[in-house]
Structure 1
Amino acid sequence: MTSRAPALDRIRVGSAPDSWGVWFPDDPRQVPWRRFLDEVARAGYEWIELGPYGYLPSDPERLAAETSRRGLRVSAGTVFTALHRGPEVWEGTWEHVARVAALARAVDARHLVVIPSFWRDDRTGRVLEERTLDAAQWRDLARQTERLGREVRERFGLRIVVHPHADTHIDTEENVARFLDATDPELVSLCLDTGHYAYCGGDSVELIRTYGERIGYLHLKQVDPDVLARVRAEGTPFGPAVAQGVMCEPPAGVPALEPVLTAAGALGVDLFAIVEQDMYPCPADRPLPIAERTRAFLRSCGV
């Protein structure tokens, strides 16, 4: 058995509905929520995320009962935002955020993963807005994200972790650095998704070394470099790229996860490392074997 390195003692591994092909609250092509809970526990995970609001039960007592009887705990909820569009979107954004944050807090989660809106439709590829933000939009994004971090902390006791994501405005090394440099570390941390960051050309280990104090949460995934090269060359939107297998089962892709975990462990802070292997849509029998193999692989990495 691989011994657990002291530097990795504070990393808590989990998985998410995303690793079971779940992207939407309700979709007949997705695994039913009870099956997800049964299988994620069977695969050896203790921690989960809520996934899209409405997929898992939104009644806190029922959700707590369903998770606890399977030995599961919730690490975070997830929201999508478009805060670069200015103060006029705040009211609608907060209505959604507050609903998710309340549920997350009720089941003792401590984080809220914040994903920026897509600049092109993730399924059709239709361009929704400019790919690059102007200076005013960057200011709105920074100030409103800080406001979100403050409000979520004060009202719900949660910490927001912003998730750089393919086909959004927070994606590449340059844009991630610009966002971090523009926001208050006391209010805004980062959810480093190793797969999305690699998808957009970033080096996760270097990001951890450079902005270690801003890393508040991890999503673990890998990309298939051959598929990535093809979808980049063809300008494929993120959704179809996932359907083509751009996100792959570790350790078959990049980045190598053991150096990422080692770098994260060296920070000496408590971190969640949640497995998220994008594969929507997928056959219902596919996720569990992958999840079991992935959990075994991560144990071999020391977590």
Structure 2
Amino acid sequence: MSFKTPKLSPDKVWLGITPTLWWNDDFLNIDIGIPFEQCVSEMALAGYVGCSIGHKYPTDPQTLKAALDLRGLRVSEPWVSTYFTIESMKAQTIQKVRQQLAFIKQVEGHESDPRRADLVVAEFGGAVNPLPVALYPNAPTFNDRQWDELAAGLNEIGRIAREEGRRLCYHPHMGTGVMKQAAVERLMATTDPDLVFMLLDTAHLYCGGADPLEITRKYATRIKHIHLKDFRESVLKEMHAKGMSFQEGIEAGIFTVPGDGSYNHFPEILSILAEAGFEGWLVIEAEQDPAKANPLQYAKMARAYLREQLGW
């Protein structure tokens, strides 16, 4: 029986999807040649109103805006990889944040539409997920100095984002120093709750060694952006047993859309967020090989699952 969450209203919760169903933005070889126009057309056809930005998207803000407007889509989030925990990268990180904020402001224009993009970040200092190495034994562990620098840096760019009318949402990510339960909790404890919010990525949390349901219960009011993503338990076990890299895990099918994998607590998570008054972007994500998982098929599958859970 479905676990209904009627308080999540389509007037205040907007459904988006990432282009990682159509191609991979980290590993460019995971690609069967689907162009930007087909990707965003299929997003709209599947019933979504928003999307994150992929590497095939137009870099001119007006060209991008026109293409998305034509299909009834908006940008749900620009991404910035932060590098506060390694040497001589703070200034470059802040510059990139300002560039992304300026870009998304141009894409949105002067519209009064409340469906504004959030700024999504993750600390990639020392990250191993882009590398061809075993992910789990080589993921970084930050020392106290690095934690201090990360918290201070996130608070600073959170303040910059707030000045631009944006919410800074931190994305715990496999292969980084913020992926395990204790690390996620430390980040929440050491950052300003008025400046740094959480992006809840269900699969990255679980596969990284955290409990998405517990995280949701504990930080429901700080969760302002959602990547709803499922995983396959058999591939997760294989990644640990064989010392697989992040790319190898993706190619083996570690991720899929909600309702198609091993995670069965999506209804409870949606209910908790509804009770907490969640408003914002609920984004479907599944970093899959499009040669093995037809993107439009899986996008429609996820939309059907959301309709079953949300009632709309």
Q: Which residue, out of 118, 131, 146, partners 1:111?
A: 118
The 8 Å contact of residues 82 and 116 in structure 1, kept in 2 or not, is answered as yes
Gaps of 5+ in 1: none
The 8 Å contact of residues 110 and 157 in structure 1, kept in 2 or not, is answered as no
Does residue 40 of structure 2 align to residue 37 of structure 1? yes
CA distance in 2, matches of 1:4, 1:223: 22
1:144-163, CA deviations, whole angstroms, 9 ceiling, x for partnerless residues?
11111112222x32211010
CA distance in 2, matches of 1:106, 1:240: 37
Aligned-pair identity (%): 29
Does residue 54 of structure 2 align to residue 46 of structure 1? no
Which residue is equivalent to 1:22? 24
The 8 Å contact of residues 22 and 30 in structure 1, kept in 2 or not, is answered as no
Which residue is equivalent to 1:270? 279
Which residue is equivalent to 2:219? 211
The 8 Å contact of residues 205 and 263 in structure 1, kept in 2 or not, is answered as no
Q: Which residue, out of 234, 251, 263, partners 1:243?
A: 251
The amino acid of 1:270's aligned partner reads E
Question: What's the secondary structure of 1:74's corresponding residue?
Answer: strand
Bigger mean CA deviation after superposition, 108-117 or 66-75 = 108-117
Bigger mean CA deviation after superposition, 262-271 or 3-12 = 3-12
Question: What's the secondary structure of 2:85's corresponding residue?
Answer: helix
Which residue is equivalent to 1:168? 176
Question: What's the secondary structure of 1:6's corresponding residue?
Answer: coil
Q: Which residue, out of 150, 155, 159, partners 1:141?
A: 150
Which residue is equivalent to 2:97? 97
CA distance in 1, matches of 2:241, 2:280: 35
Question: What's the secondary structure of 1:227's corresponding residue?
Answer: helix
1:261-292, CA deviations, whole angstroms, 9 ceiling, x for partnerless residues?
1121111131311011011x432971111111
Question: What's the secondary structure of 1:269's corresponding residue?
Answer: coil
Count, aligned residues:
297
Which residue is equivalent to 1:125? 133
1:52-85, CA deviations, whole angstroms, 9 ceiling, x for partnerless residues?
4xx3112221111110111111121111111112
1:31 offset after TM fit, Å?
Answer: 2.3
Q: Which residue, out of 152, 162, 178, partners 2:161?
A: 152
CA distance in 2, matches of 1:5, 1:139: 38
Coordinate RMSD, CA, aligned? 2.4
Does residue 191 of structure 2 align to residue 183 of structure 1? yes
TM-score w.r.t. structure 2 length? 0.87
CA distance in 1, matches of 2:175, 2:219: 22
1:156-183, CA deviations, whole angstroms, 9 ceiling, x for partnerless residues?
3221101000000110111000010000
CA distance in 2, matches of 1:243, 1:26: 12
1:179-201, CA deviations, whole angstroms, 9 ceiling, x for partnerless residues?
10000001100101001011123
The 8 Å contact of residues 31 and 284 in structure 1, kept in 2 or not, is answered as no
The 8 Å contact of residues 7 and 266 in structure 1, kept in 2 or not, is answered as yes
* Cα distance change of structure 1 residues 69 and 26 upon mapping to structure 2, 3 Å threshold: farther
Which residue is equivalent to 2:235? 227
1:86-130, CA deviations, whole angstroms, 9 ceiling, x for partnerless residues?
5x2122112322222222222333311102215225341178x87
CA distance in 2, matches of 1:103, 1:39: 24
Bigger mean CA deviation after superposition, 224-233 or 249-258 = 249-258
Does residue 261 of structure 2 align to residue 253 of structure 1? yes
CA distance in 1, matches of 2:127, 2:3: 44
TM-score w.r.t. structure 1 length? 0.90
1:32 offset after TM fit, Å?
Answer: 1.4
